[in-house]
């Protein structure tokens, strides 16, 4: 870890530390808040200029980053380390633990755009990362720090994707990993990954929030490196999709980015990414960043609605979008700042709205996890409320691959996912999206008859 170029600043009291001085739970000893990585040499927030590190040159960086896309160097082939000038946290970038994450596709969503009456709608599909979720971009960064610092064990509490990513990167790094997950509340695809990549996987009779609290105690007693998104190096990796999005729009950022909200590390990281681009003069403005939660797991929505974004009361979380089944999000203060600084919104959507949006994305050939589909469901609401104009360019951040939670998809198409009381008024819309598999006899006439039924 390179302590010369970065420091950690507490988002609560502003205390600054060297990276190596952070507590095992990454909380400030003075005020209990989380830290953010900052680079004093960039001259941000009036920090002292360091002679050994110059403020990056925007034009040169844009050129360099694009050049690296055709490089065969290991570190250049990562969509995170391609932008390494903006995350100088390692002693040696050559030692980064990478699975060639990032560089994910930005797909136009033409049908959804048409039905919503929006000119430009895109999906940035972070589910197209090596372990199938956006967590890989953060994991390459924090796992590299863990290895440079000489840890043998790493750990996370997870609703599934963090554990899958951590297990994969730990295996690549030659480190051992401990996973704490809520028993029965994570999708099989994700659990199978943690097992396959060799983690010690503990299923606890607790929810995600309980698992994280427990792990916070464990890392204070054992030499284990915590890899949840309270670890500020995770967010350094997770800010890089902001760079990819800006680059894809030729450094004219889209008007609006919509992100799912769980533990709220990702919205915080993307906001940090765009903020740094603006502070360094690579882009002229930031997109609006909105966060969407599930109705049954909406502590941030309540924080805005009931406490003017000044306090967060934990909730007992329930949603079939298990990835975001989180009632006490660690990074809520960071996310509030991002939403407020960018003029975004925080809203929630129902279980039926999530399922419909997921099926609509599927029908465009872009599967995703239920937790990712909250973004489209949220956009529909924002558009209906007149908060998104027809000429705006909107990007939805899809966070996880559709195969992570195939059970959810199958249950939806079989009609067993939602209870009747959840679908009131939406029955016709749901029926038009359902494509259940049909049992057909193995004869041409039977298949032709099935086809005729579909052709109408
Ligand atoms: N989407 C997916 C697919 C996720 O797995 C998560 C979080 C989120 C959205 C929310 O992101 O927490 O940064 O606000 N999953 C974590 C996990 C908590 O353990 O895999 P967030």
Q: Is the CB of 19 under 6 A from ligand 1?
A: no
Q: Which of 266, 374, 402 to mutate to test the pocket of ligand 1 (most atoms within 8 A of CB)?
A: 266
pLDDT score for 1: 78
Q: Is the CB of 344 under 6 A from ligand 1?
A: no
pLDDT score for 46: 43
What ligand 1 atom has the least distance to the C-alpha of 229?
A: 13
Residue 260 C-alpha to ligand 1 middle, in angstroms? 8
**pLDDT per position as a tens digit, 84-109:** 999 999 999 999 999 999 999 999 99
What ligand 1 atom has the least distance to the C-alpha of 160?
A: 20
Residue 323 C-alpha to ligand 1 middle, in angstroms? 5
Q: Which of 128, 136, 161, 268 to mutate to test the pocket of ligand 1 (most atoms within 8 A of CB)?
A: 161
CA distances to 20, 27, 236, 295, 403 from 7, rounded to whole Å, are 9, 14, 12, 37, 38
**pLDDT per position as a tens digit, 222-270:** 999 999 999 999 999 999 999 999 999 999 999 999 999 999 999 999 9
250-276 residues labelled b (16+ CB within 10 A) or e (exposed): eeebbebbbbbbbbbbbbbbbbbbbbb
DSSP per-residue letters across 285-314: S--EEEEEEETTB-HHHHHHHHHTTS----
> Which residues share a beta bridge with 156?
179
Residue 161 C-alpha to ligand 1 middle, in angstroms? 7
50: pLDDT strictly greater than 70: no
**pLDDT per position as a tens digit, 111-168:** 999 999 999 999 999 999 999 999 999 999 999 999 999 999 999 999 999 999 999 9
Q: Which of 179, 182, 262 to mutate to test the pocket of ligand 1 (most atoms within 8 A of CB)?
A: 262
**pLDDT per position as a tens digit, 5-17:** 999 999 999 999 9
Q: 324 near 354, Cβ under 8 Å?
A: no
Q: How many CB atoms lie within 10 A of CB 329?
A: 30
Q: Is the CB of 259 under 6 A from ligand 1?
A: no
pTM, rounded to two decimals: 0.96
Q: Is the CB of 207 under 6 A from ligand 1?
A: no
């Amino acid at each position: 870890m390179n302590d010369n170029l970065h420091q950690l600043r507490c988002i609560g009291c502003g205390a600054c530390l060297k990276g190596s001085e952070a507590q095992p739970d990454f909380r400030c000893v003075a005020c209990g808040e989380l830290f953010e990585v900052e680079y004093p040499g960039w001259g941000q927030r009036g920090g002292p200029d360091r002679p050994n590190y110059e403020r990056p040159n925007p034009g040169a960086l844009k050129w360099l980053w694009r050049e690296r896309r055709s490089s065969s160097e290991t570190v250049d082939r990562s969509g995170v380390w391609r932008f390494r000038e903006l995350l100088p946290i390692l002693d040696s970038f050559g030692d980064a633990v990478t699975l060639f994450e990032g560089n994910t596709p930005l797909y136009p969503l033409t049908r959804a755009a048409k039905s919503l009456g929006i000119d430009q709608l895109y999906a940035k599909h972070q589910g197209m990362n090596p372990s199938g979720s956006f967590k890989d971009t953060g994991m390459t960064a924090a796992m590299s720090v863990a290895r440079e610092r000489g840890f043998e064990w790493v750990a996370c509490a997870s609703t599934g994707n963090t554990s899958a990513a951590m297990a994969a990167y730990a295996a690549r790094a030659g480190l051992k990993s401990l996973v704490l997950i809520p028993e029965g509340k994570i999708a099989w695809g994700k659990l199978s990954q943690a097992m396959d990549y060799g983690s010690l996987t503990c299923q606890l009779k607790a929810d995600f929030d309980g698992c994280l609290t427990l792990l916070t105690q464990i890392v204070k007693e054992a030499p284990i490196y915590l890899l949840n998104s309270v670890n500020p190096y995770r967010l350094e990796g997770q800010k890089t999709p902001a760079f990819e999005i800006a680059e894809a729009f030729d450094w004219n950022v889209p008007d609006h980015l919509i992100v799912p909200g769980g533990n709220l590390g990702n919205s915080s990281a993307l906001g940090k990414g765009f903020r740094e681009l603006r502070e360094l003069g690579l882009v002229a403005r930031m997109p609006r960043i909105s966060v969407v939660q599930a109705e049954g797991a909406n502590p941030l929505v309540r924080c805005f609605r009931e406490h003017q974004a000044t306090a967060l009361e934990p909730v007992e979380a329930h949603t079939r979008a298990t990835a975001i089944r989180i009632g006490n999000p660690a990074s809520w203060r960071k996310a509030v700042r991002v939403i407020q600084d960018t003029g975004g919104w925080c809203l929630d959507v129902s279980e039926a709205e999530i399922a419909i949006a997921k099926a609509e994305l599927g029908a465009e050939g872009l599967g995703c996890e239920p937790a990712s589909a909250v973004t489209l469901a949220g956009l529909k609401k924002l558009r209906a409320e007149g908060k998104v104009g027809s000429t705006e360019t909107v990007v939805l951040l899809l966070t996880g691959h559709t195969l992570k939670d195939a059970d959810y998809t199958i249950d939806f198409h079989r009609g067993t996912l939602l209870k009747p009381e959840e679908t009131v008024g939406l029955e016709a819309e749901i029926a038009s999206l359902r494509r259940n598999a049909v049992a057909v006899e193995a004869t041409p006439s039977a298949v032709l008859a099935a086809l005729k039924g579909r052709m109408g």
